[in-house]
């Protein structure tokens, strides 16, 4: 069974692997149902989706009808105005057939103009905390991509009592010293405040060389079992982190196997060898490759 721990100060004990429901975005309902059954069988009790993940929220609806009490349910909105964020949340509730979500997150809040709009009077932050007070959601969180996001999360936490953050983390990104430093600064702050830390892109190998190769993920994932397992163990060796599974659902059970049998953290020289032998490169560079 997967390890579980407190999801920040929310009061929920979540599996350390969170199901990234972007994987459901373009699936048939039949395949989505089969994928979601894995969560029941393997002890995953936390689902993370978004309004922009294709048909994901709709694919979740039948499963949630039968299993809603068993899962911490999170979604996201990319809207920055208050009216837009409120409408997005209400649409997500309708699409999933639920009365509330446990967590609503501001999706990829990193650009300066969007950040200012979201935090302005009448903006998305104000509206989502109002929705929390009305009982439409349990908590409010913030997410993002790129090498600027750890610093932006620190800034966001200075302005609002977010319950969780989400950002990229893997052993390739950890080699970028300024990002690693920013990540650790954010981590220290989150631990002090009881803010849950979700990580994404744990098994990213690199960006696709040819976008025509793209299949189930916008980046090329690691698929070799041993290499993937070491990437998973690198993240989960840090007891403060949750790991959100890849949008490539074919790798879900392999990732869950690695998360159950953590063992010792992988040695640095082995990770370095993996990066060299499997041409692993960062998804973000702070410049040309800053966005997805």
| pLDDT recorded at residue 214 | 56
pLDDT confidence of residue 212: 62
Q: Is residue 110 part of a domain?
A: yes
Rounded distance between C-alpha atoms, residue 104 and residue 49, angstroms = 10
Q: Are residues 176 and 147 in contact, defined by beta-carbon separation less than 8 angstroms? A: yes
What residues in the chain have per-residue pLDDT under 50? Answer: none
Residue 290: inside a domain: no
Q: Is residue 256 part of a domain?
A: yes
Give me the count of residues in the chain: 292
Q: Give me the domain span that covers residue 266.
A: 4-277
CA 75 to chain centre: 10
Tell me the pLDDT tens digit for each residue of 173-195: 999 999 999 999 999 999 999 99
CATH number for the domain that contains residue 55:
3.20.20.100
The domain total for the chain is 1
Confirm whether 132 is domain-assigned: yes
pLDDT digits (tens, 9 = 90+) for 201-218: 999 999 988 666 556 788
In this structure, is residue 57 part of a structural domain? yes
The 3-state secondary structure of the chain reads CCCEEECCCCCCEEECEEEEHHHHCCCCHHHHHHHHHHHHHHCCCEEECCCCCCCHHHHHHHHHHHHHHHCEEEEEECCCEHHHHHHHHHHHHHHHCCCCEEEEEECCCCCHHHHHHHHCCCEHHHHHHHHHHHCCEEEEEEECCCCCHHHHHHHHHHHCCCCEEEEECCCCHHHCHHHHHHHHHHHHHHHHHCCEEEEECCCEEEECCCHHHCCCCCEEECCCHHHHHHHHHHHHCCCCEEEECCCCHHHHHHHHHHHHCCCCCCCHHHHHHHHHHCCCCCCCCCCCCCCC
pLDDT at 62: 98
* 289 is a domain residue: no
List beta partners, residue 6.
13
- Determine, yes or no, domain membership for 288: no
Does residue 130 sit within a domain? yes
Look up the pTM and report it: 0.96
> What are residue 168's DSSP bridge partners?
200
pLDDT at 213: 59
What is the model's pLDDT at position 211?
62
Say how far apart CA 223 and CA 230 lie, in whole Å.
Answer: 12
């Amino acid at each position: 069974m997967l390890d579980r721990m407190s999801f920040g100060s929310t009061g929920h004990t979540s599996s350390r692997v969170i199901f990234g429901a972007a994987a459901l975005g373009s699936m048939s309902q039949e395949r989505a149902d089969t994928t979601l059954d894995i969560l029941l069988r393997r002890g995953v009790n936390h689902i993370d989706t978004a309004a922009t993940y294709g048909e994901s929220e709709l694919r979740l609806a039948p499963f949630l009808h039968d299993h809603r009490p068993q899962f911490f349910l999170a979604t996201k909105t990319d809207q920055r105005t208050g009216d837009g964020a409120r409408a997005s949340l209400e649409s997500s509730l309708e699409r999933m057939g639920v009365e509330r979500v446990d967590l609503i997150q501001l999706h990829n809040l990193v650009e300066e103009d969007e950040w200012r709009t979201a935090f302005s009077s009448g903006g998305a932050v104000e509206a989502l905390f109002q929705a929390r007070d009305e009982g439409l959601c349990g908590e409010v969180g913030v997410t993002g991509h790129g090498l600027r996001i750890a610093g932006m999360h620190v800034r966001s936490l200075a302005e609002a009592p977010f319950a969780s953050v989400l950002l990229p983390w893997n052993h390739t990104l950890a080699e970028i010293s300024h990002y690693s430093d920013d990540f650790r600064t954010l981590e220290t702050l989150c631990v002090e405040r009881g803010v849950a830390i979700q990580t994404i892109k744990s098994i990213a190998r690199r960006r696709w060389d040819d976008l025509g190769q793209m299949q189930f993920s916008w980046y090329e994932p690691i698929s070799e079992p041993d290499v993937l397992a070491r990437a998973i163990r690198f993240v989960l060796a840090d007891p403060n982190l949750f790991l959100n599974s890849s949008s490539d659902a074919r790798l879900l059970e392999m990732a869950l196997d690695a998360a159950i049998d953590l063992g010792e953290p992988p040695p640095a020289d082995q990770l370095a060898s993996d990066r060299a032998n499997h041409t692993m490169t960062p998804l973000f560079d702070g410049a040309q490759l800053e966005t997805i």
